[in-house]
Structure 1
């Protein structure tokens, strides 16, 4: 496994997006834990979760608790694993998502996440989404307070614009270490945010990094088949999965990129973890553009 950095911490170049383990159509706990363990076995040292990753009402923190149990049951050393969680969104149980960015809510949410994860401080705490009803500086200020209190070691922001990144950097200084925006073969509208992160030395964590590339080609997966793209062509020529090509393409976009593909089964994360070893040629990268 190759490594990149988030703040001062080295992490695997590919992380595990744990959301599929807790939301709609989630696997049973045995398979969910096996998926986390497969990630760790493959050298993954970044796990992305959130307090809002759950399915039913009253399950706040389901994914955080699951990740904590999986880490506790792992037979190897997990001291180098960075668990990144998020606060500021909710799920009332009807399939919808809410946004709450008040400082009081974010501070309470962080304290609750800390208890569920069972650590002395949250390694990376990310504001899940800007709340249009709350001034951005107030929401980010809550992260500053959490840093100062030692509740979190580093802060991140998600679903943000370049202006919001710049303002957050002014409030948090070096405490801001990451930005998590949607970016994939199918969705590339965060290019400006990626380049700003590059200039500021912030890690850029693309969420839903396999958008446009179906998982259905992997063993045991299901769903609509996507095919015929340049990613599939390169994958066929290389004898690897299109998912590996998509992740290798993302890694080639910038040295600050750390993709966090979701996985609901061990085979998925094992495949994704091979992407850092796939070096794409200039001609292949040009085709993928």
Structure 2
């Protein structure tokens, strides 16, 4: 798999978002572990998780524990795999999401993630979402302290606009290596943040990167006009429209690393194939 730069790391150009393995509708343990192993077999070296990826009513950290078990049971080397986790969110019993970015909570969250992942330091620790009730600089300061103590190697932020990105750069300096925002064929309002990350040399990790791509060109929000081009290119190439969508994303910026989710081995294998699918100028011109 081709690689891209994420701070001090070189990772596969397509990562893996492990959230589907732990939230509502999650697969059983055997299939979940097989999915992580399939990602590793396909050359994925960036796995994204969070302490808040668990089903309502469950225990925080389900996904982190699952990823740790899958890595431990893998038959090959895993020391080159970057596990990125996040803190600052939680779940409610009715399925909602909470936001908590105060320094005390973030410290406890990071220390819990350390134990669950079984590592001496978290390779990439990300603030899951700015807390409107906590000054952003205070949340960032907590992450900086964790890095200074050796508990975190690099820092990222998520769900951040350009102002937040610039503020994070000012507070964190070289510790800041990534921004994880939503971006996909269906959601493209993050272009200013994408451009700023390229300008600053920050990795841009789009979550839900396959939004708007359905198996059928006629299904999903936006109507056939929004997706028919992805399906047309896919049919001509003999690949899935999902692969074309990920290859399109990769062509947008040299610092972009998509993290598609998957709950089946065949799905992540297909997504990983996009890392080596280079679209032509003519094909890119067809895509909306």
TM-score band, normalised by shorter chain: over 0.9
State the alpha-carbon separation in 2 of the partners of residues 40 and 29 from structure 1. 17
Per-residue CA shift, 1:163-222, capped at 9, x if unaligned? 0000000000000000000000000011000110001100000000000012x57xxxxx
CA-to-partner distance for each residue in 1:244-280, whole Å, 9 max, x for gaps?
A: 0000000000000000000000000000010011111
Aligned to 1:284: 283
TM-score (norm 2): 0.96
Deviations 1:83-136 (A, max 9, x none): 000000000221100000101000110000000000000000000000011111
Counterpart position of 1:220: none
Aligned to 2:12: 12
Q: Secondary structure at the match of 1:107?
A: helix
- Residue of structure 1 in register with 2:180 after alignment: 180
Q: How does 1:1-289 map to 2 (within 5 A)?
A: 1-214=1-214, 216=215, 229-289=228-288
- Tell which deviates more after alignment, 90-99 or 154-163: 90-99
CA RMSD of aligned residues (A): 1.4
Question: What is the CA distance between 1:6 and its match in structure 2?
Answer: 0.7
Q: CA deviation at 1:56?
A: 2.8
Distance 2:264 2:44 in 1: 15
Shift of 1:224: 6.7
Comparing 16-25 with 55-64, which one deviates more in the overlay? 55-64
Stretches of structure 1 that go unaligned for 5 or more consecutive residues are 218-222
Q: Using the alignment, how far apart are the partners of 2:11 and 2:106 within structure 1?
A: 26
More displaced, 270-279 or 226-235? 226-235
Aligned length: 283
Residue aligned with 1:123, SS: strand
Contiguous gaps of at least 5 residues in structure 2? none
Tell me by how many angstroms 1:287 deviates.
1.2
CA distance in 1, matches of 2:146, 2:188: 32
Q: For residues 262 and 21 of structure 2, what CA distance do their matches in structure 1 show?
A: 7
Helix, strand or coil: the match of 1:192? helix
In the alignment, the residues of structure 2 paired with residue 11 and residue 80 of structure 1 have an alpha-carbon distance, to the nearest angstrom, of 8
Determine the C-alpha separation between the residues in 1 that align with 2:155 and 2:12. Answer: 19
Q: 1:253 to 1:224 in 2, by over 3 A?
A: closer
Which SS does the other structure have where 1:233 is aligned? helix
In structure 2, the CA distance between the partners of 1:286 and 1:224, relative to structure 1 (3 Å rule), is closer
Structure 1 CA distance for aligned equivalents of residues 282 and 186 of structure 2: 20
The CA distance in 1 between the partners of 2:117 and 2:265, in whole Å, is 22
Is contact 2:213–2:220 with CA below 8 Å preserved after alignment?
Answer: no
